[in-house]
């Protein structure tokens, strides 16, 4: 059985150890969406470092219908926040392309997360920071992240925890239920993560932890996604000459 209190405490100590070894006086800088992952990761950092060493970066792309959730989190934790609208950067880069460039829809979808991560690193470098990665195991397992976008970061508190486990930790951290239970939406099509994936996180999490799954078709989809996206979780291959 998953012991949320035990794992929460272990994670807090791990974050402290990371900063002791990789920036004793540095700040944790985190992109805040208002969803469960950034909420739990930010709360863990506050517990580990104190609210004065955690900085939230809000990055709407034009109008963000649920940005009030990001405000709620920052206010609840008492952390400093900066809001930078990335719409002009996204549109400017797209408009800078030659008219005949075959820009794919997937490239357009992945552009905002990559610009957001560049923005977070810009802020972090200016504030003596270390960037918090907010990906969880469930999303990473099936490649539901953007390489060099939300998949980037300097340290990752949640990447070995499933969605179900992240939610349990959020509850023991005392986060508002509206943040823990907020249905994740991709912010582009208006579809939920589970709509896009074709299965629920409950089914995925059980399969990851126990290997049990009832629907063979869903198992095949998950296995295919996992295999195809393993490269995202590995270090970039590098040539090693034989001297």
The ranges assigned to domains in the chain are 4-183
pTM of the model: 0.94
Q: What pLDDT score was predicted for residue 184?
A: 73
Tokens of 127: 């504030």
Vertex 49: Cα angle to 140 and 78 (nearest 5): 90
pLDDT, mean of residues 20-24: 95
- Chain centre to alpha carbon of residue 84: 18
Going by pLDDT thresholds of 50, 70 and 90, the confidence category of residue 110 is very high
Going by pLDDT thresholds of 50, 70 and 90, the confidence category of residue 188 is low
Are 222 and 199 contacting, i.e. CB atoms less than 8 angstroms apart? Answer: yes
Q: What is the pLDDT of residues 143-182, one digit of tens each?
A: 999 999 999 999 999 999 999 999 999 999 999 999 999 8
The domain made up of 4-183 has a fold known as: Rossmann fold (3.40.50)
Are 131 and 121 contacting, i.e. CB atoms less than 8 angstroms apart? Answer: yes
Q: How far apart are the C-alpha atoms of 44 and 13, rounded to whole Å? A: 10
């Amino acid at each position: 059985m998953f012991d949320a209190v035990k794992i929460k405490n272990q994670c807090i100590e791990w974050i402290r150890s990371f900063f002791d070894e990789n920036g004793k006086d540095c700040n944790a800088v985190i992109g805040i969406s208002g969803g469960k992952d950034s909420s739990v990761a930010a709360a863990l950092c506050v517990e580990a470092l104190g609210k004065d060493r955690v900085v939230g970066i809000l990055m709407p792309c034009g109008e963000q219908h649920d940005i009030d959730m990001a405000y709620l989190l920052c206010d609840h934790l008492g952390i400093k926040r900066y809001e930078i609208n990335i719409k002009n950067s996204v549109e400017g880069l797209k408009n800078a392309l030659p008219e005949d460039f075959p820009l794919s829809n997937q490239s357009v979808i992945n552009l905002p997360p990559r610009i957001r991560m560049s923005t977070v690193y810009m802020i972090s470098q200016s504030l003596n920071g270390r960037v918090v990665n907010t990906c969880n195991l469930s999303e990473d397992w099936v490649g539901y992240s953007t390489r060099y976008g939300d998949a980037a970061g300097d340290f990752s508190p949640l990447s070995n925890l499933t969605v179900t486990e992240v939610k349990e930790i959020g509850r023991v951290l005392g986060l508002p239920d509206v943040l823990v239970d907020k249905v994740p939406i991709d912010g582009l099509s208006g579809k939920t993560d589970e709509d896009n994936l074709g299965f629920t996180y409950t089914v995925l999490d059980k399969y990851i932890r126990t290997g049990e799954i009832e629907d063979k078709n869903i198992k095949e989809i998950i296995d295919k996604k996992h295999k195809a996206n393993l490269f995202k979780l590995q270090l970039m291959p590098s040539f090693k000459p034989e001297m």
